[in-house]
Amino acid sequence: MKTKTLVITLAAVFALAQVSRADIIDIQALWSGAQFSNGASATATFTLDTSLFNNPGFSSFSGAAFSNAFQNFQLTVSGASSGNGVFTGSDFSVIFLNTAGGTLDFHSELVGQTTPGGLWGAASFPTVVGDFNLFSNGFSALTPTGASIFTLLAGSGESIQLTSFAPAAPAAPVAVPETSTWVMGFLALGAVAFIARRPIAAWRSI
């Protein structure tokens, strides 16, 4: 009985050690120049650590904090008269997100989510609800930079407005084992192996 109890306990510890990183989400953000009658557009992909955000609230990141909150950030501009290309986090100095007082669900499309002030992503004056923007570090005139609410200015001077901020794929959050999880798992397996090899009579004496 003690042997079975020990095995069950070890199995339970290993199961609990599987840390669900539901706060880590792969995101794709889209901008379009259609509202400004131009053909420019942009697509950004990154891995968002939502545990670092004030939700609800305003969150601003620069330097190492930018890289931690927006991991593997990459923004591609296309269709502009100039300034097309791929830009990474190192091309920008600051990035921020304002939830407009609402608690946003980062596992769903953000544009259109309800906040106390209206639908997040509305960028037509006088209705402006929240913001998501980033600013060039100034090293290159071709780097896109924030020009207005939810709006970037491509290197060509063409404005592009955010139209989507959503998970890159509809898949459920993946449980990613951390280092401590692997260590605990190996220890548990070792203990189970030890139990299996030890004579039953030895356990009866415990």
| Residue 148, token pair as written in the block | 């207005």
What pLDDT score was predicted for residue 201? 53
What pLDDT score was predicted for residue 156? 86
pLDDT tens track of the chain, all 206 residues? 545 444 444 444 444 434 347 899 999 999 999 999 999 999 999 999 999 999 999 999 999 999 999 999 999 999 999 999 999 999 999 999 999 999 999 999 999 999 998 999 977 656 779 999 999 999 999 999 999 999 999 988 999 999 999 999 755 545 555 555 544 555 555 554 544 455 545 545 55
Neighbours of 71 (CB within 10 A): 14
What pLDDT score was predicted for residue 188? 55
What pLDDT score was predicted for residue 17? 39
Q: What residue ranges do the domains of the chain occupy?
A: 2-18+177-204, 24-167
Q: CA–CA separation, 98 vs 136, rounded Å?
A: 18
| Sole residue written with tokens 């794929």 | 169
Name the residue among 136, 134, 131, 124 with its Cα closest to residue 58. 131
| Sole residue written with tokens 């402006």 | 128
Q: CA–CA separation, 153 vs 90, rounded Å?
A: 18
What pLDDT score was predicted for residue 15? 44
What pLDDT score was predicted for residue 50? 97
SS3 61: strand
What pLDDT score was predicted for residue 6? 43
Under 8 Å CB-to-CB from 115, ≥6 apart: which residues? 56, 99, 100, 101, 102, 104, 129, 130
What pLDDT score was predicted for residue 91? 97
Structure pTM?
A: 0.73
